[in-house]
Amino acid sequence: MSELARDRTEQRGGRPERYGLADLKPLGEALRRHWLLAIGAAALVIPTLYGVASQSWITEQGAHGPIVLATALWLFARRWTEVRALARPGDTRIALAGFLIVAPIYVVARIINVIEVEGFMMYALLLVAAYWLIGWRPMRAMWFPIIYMLFIFPPPDTVVAMVTQPLKIAISQAAINLLYALGYPIAGSGVMIIIGQYQLLIAAACAGLNSLISLSAIGLFYIYIRHNANWRYAMLLMLAIVPVAVMANFVRVLALIMITHYLGDEAAQGFLHTFSGITMFLFSVLGIFAVDAAASPLRRRLARRGRSA
């Protein structure tokens, strides 16, 4: 519980203060006072968010976007009721400088339709406006929702290529080595796998980065809601997301190779391909829950150490 929330609990005789829609009334009043800014923000958000939704959210790697958007907005509303007393207008000069730096990049990205840059720059402009309205202190208190919201935007293609390629090669080679040791007629080079009479090309969706982004978003939300007070344990659990995602993708690649070998290439590229991705993501999330449950003794030990410190 934050210090501000704890103070409010004590002021009400030890009973937790309940929040409702009325707590968002000051925000509505601020929007009415700054109606021109609200119109400008809507002019930024609506077309850019539509572009992100139509180009990224309909794909496997961006399917987590709507979930992240909904949960992030809920987190903002939840945290705002706790930190609104800290709100003070920010320095106009700093806000103006931020706008002059970010706005030209947003305009150029919008013109040439680089949705990755456009989305992040649009979000940066919203943060600049938020700083001007409420200042730095409440934004610092809402650091997690601010960072978490970044997951709704697709990562730049250069980052995707840089991270995906070595991960694809490593997972492909590990799968080849394992199945070859088990006696299967398999060989490969890079991301190309040959098993029997079939050839497979391991794409980014099968090799880890896409599910790693989705799993990181869902995992971070789970960790923040469940273990926000125990930051040491939360950091350790965040580190577990990466190996869980890589292992789940390794299992998916193995499954696709076996489906191709026994049922043919058409089966592996059809419904079973999509189903394996959904199943893999489900088991990844369950893997995070399992790691959390297995590490519960460590969590209790860290909690006791934190109380005694």
Query: pLDDT for 59-109, tens place per residue?
Result: 767 778 898 999 999 999 888 888 888 888 899 999 999 999 999 999 999
Annotation marks residue 206 as catalytic: yes
Report the candidate in 126, 151, 152 with the shortest Cα–Cα distance to residue 139: 126
User: What is the C-alpha to C-alpha distance for residues 257 and 251, in angstroms, rounded to an integer?
Assistant: 10
Asked if 137 is an active-site residue, the reply is no
Contact 151, 213 (CB under 8 A): yes
- Return the number of other C-beta atoms located less than 10 Å from residue 236's C-beta: 17
State whether residue 222 is helix, strand or coil.
helix
Catalytic one of 8, 79, 252, 299: 252
Q: Which of 8, 79, 110, 206 is catalytic?
A: 206
Q: What is the pLDDT of residue 10?
A: 39
The 10s digit of each residue's pLDDT in 239-266 is 888 888 788 888 888 888 888 888 877 7
121 closest CA partner among 214, 66, 48: 48
Between the two ends of the chain, the Cα-to-Cα distance in Å is 17
Q: Give the DSSP H/E element, type plus range, for residue 193.
A: strand 192-195
